Amino acid sequence: MSADQALPELDPVIHAQARLRVIAALNVLGDGDEMAFASMKDLLGMTAGNLSVHLTKLEEAGYVRITKTHKGRTPVTYVAITKRGRLAFDEYTKAIRALLDNAGGNV
């Protein structure tokens, strides 16, 4: 990479390892699909509290939509990636690829 080329910016909301794992898991879902909080917690091996904190950050950025509802008398929380979240993840992966592509031999 030449001195006049800037390194790509990495989205700080997604760059945190836990949030990257959340967004990557949600990105494989189809448009309009959602994942139950409990399923996500199990899939990612996170505690409920830790997952909740990271989902709040992603929701504040507009990257996920959280829906709280009930199945019978049991509360259920669903999480879905938004269009903005998909775009942010796509831009993030492009930036990572650019960094890796330019990393060879330029240390």
Note the pTM of the prediction, 2 decimals: 0.86
Predicted pLDDT at 102:
83
**Rounded Cα–Cα distance for residues 94 and 74 (Å):** 40
Packed helices 48-60 and 37-44: angle between N→C axes, nearest 10 degrees: 110
Q: Are 16 and 54 in contact (CB under 8 A)?
A: yes
Predicted pLDDT at 61:
98
Tens digit of pLDDT at every position of the chain (107 positions):
444 467 778 999 999 999 999 999 999 999 999 999 999 999 999 999 999 999 999 999 999 999 999 999 999 999 999 999 999 999 999 999 998 888 765 54
> Helix, strand, coil shares of the chain as percentages rounded to 5?
50, 15, 30
How do the domains of the chain map onto residue ranges?
12-94
Give CATH for domain 12-94.
Answer: 1.10.10.10
